[in-house]
């Protein structure tokens, strides 16, 4: 066997070991890690399932408060894509690419069997921490409406924590996104905050590593947007 043939044979062996040289490719079969705001969990789970059908690439989702995820990325967490409920958190992690993706509505929820409430008379209220975008929007909306916080205000680490406090009876009412309320069978919407009562809710997506580029592009495709709309998100006009 000539030296040239040996080189070709060895190169082919390396390709077999490396899965056909696909390890560094965006669609190479290796998993993709997406960090996302907790309120995107159901929507991104469905999008990720469809993405795997289309490409064969599995998406590993890490859903938490945007502030928590940004801190983890700053500390070296290996996210390929970061999706947040406040574009300011993308500023903190400096993605290679970014765009504003979707919007949402802010609502007040109560237990599914409870009567509608007057926010100014509510005795216990739950909302997300001020570091969490949902908590910031909630505080702004309450100030706009001239509604003081009740003496017993329970803070959640994210919107799902707020929902849990309301559904389990720990709080009389809670402030979350409309999509979160729709995803929980144990609560119902009692009040929708006017859009002018808080800063516009914007979900932004950022590219943290090259491996996430194709998935990021797919988020703007019609099939992904259709899933998001069905889940209650609103396209940014």
Phi first, then psi: give them for residue 82, nearest 5 degrees: -125, 125
The CATH code that applies to domain 106-197 is: 3.40.190.10
Residue 27: band (very low, low, confident or very high) from pLDDT cuts 50, 70, 90? low
Residue 57 CA to residue 218 CA, distance in Å, equals: 13
Across the range 18-33, mean pLDDT stands at 54
Within this chain, domains 26-103+202-235 and 106-197 share the same CATH topology: yes
**CA–CA separation, 198 vs 128, rounded Å?**
15
State how far the Cα of 107 lies from the Cα of 101, in Å rounded to an integer.
20
pLDDT in tens, 166-200: 999 999 999 999 999 988 899 999 999 999 999 99
CATH of domain 26-103+202-235: 3.40.190.10
- Helix ranges (DSSP H) in 151-203: 159-167, 178-183
Q: Tell whether the model's pLDDT for residue 143 goes beyond 80.
A: yes
Find out whether 35 and 44 touch, Cβ atoms under 8 Å: no
Where do the domains of the chain lie? Answer: 26-103+202-235, 106-197
Q: What angle do CA 112, 116, 122 make, to 5 degrees?
A: 105
Q: What percent of the chain has pLDDT over 70?
A: 87
DSSP string, 194-230: -GGGSPPPEEEEEE-SGGGHHHHHHTTSHHHHHHHHH
Residue pair 116/190 in contact by the 8 Å Cβ criterion? yes
In this prediction, residue 29 carries a pLDDT of 53
Asked whether the predicted pLDDT for residue 9 surpasses 90, the reply is no
pLDDT score, position 215: 97
Residues 6 or more apart from 227 whose CB is under 8 A from it?
A: 43, 46, 47, 50
Band of pLDDT at residue 130, cut at 50, 70 and 90: confident
Q: Is 157 a residue whose pLDDT tops 50? A: yes
Please give the structure tokens belonging to residue 124.
């216990």
DSSP 80: S
CA distance 179 to 189: 11
> Mean pLDDT across the stretch 114-140?
92
């Amino acid at each position: 066997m000539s030296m040239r043939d040996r080189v070709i044979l060895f190169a082919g062996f390396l390709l077999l070991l490396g899965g056909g040289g696909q390890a560094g490719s965006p669609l190479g079969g290796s998993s993709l890690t997406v960090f996302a705001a907790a309120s995107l969990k159901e929507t991104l789970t469905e999008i990720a399932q469809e993405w795997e059908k289309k490409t064969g690439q599995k998406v590993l989702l890490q859903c938490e408060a945007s502030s928590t995820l940004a801190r983890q990325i700053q500390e070296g967490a290996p996210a390929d894509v970061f999706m947040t409920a406040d574009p300011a958190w993308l500023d903190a992690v400096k993605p290679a690419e970014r765009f504003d993706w979707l919007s949402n509505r802010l609502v007040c929820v109560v237990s599914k069997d409870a009567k509608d409430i007057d926010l100014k008379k509510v005795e216990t209220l739950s909302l997300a921490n001020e570091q969490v975008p949902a908590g910031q929007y909630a505080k702004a909306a309450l100030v706009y409406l001239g509604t003081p916080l009740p003496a017993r205000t329970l803070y959640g680490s994210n919107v799902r924590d707020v929902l849990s406090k309301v559904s389990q009876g720990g709080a009389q009412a809670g402030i979350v996104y409309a999509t979160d309320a729709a995803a929980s069978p144990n609560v119902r919407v009692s009040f929708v905050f006017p859009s002018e009562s808080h800063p516009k809710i914007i979900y932004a997506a950022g590219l943290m590593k090259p491996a996430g580029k194709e998935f990021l592009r797919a988020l703007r495709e019609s099939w992904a947007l259709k899933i998001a709309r069905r889940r209650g998100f609103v396209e940014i006009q």
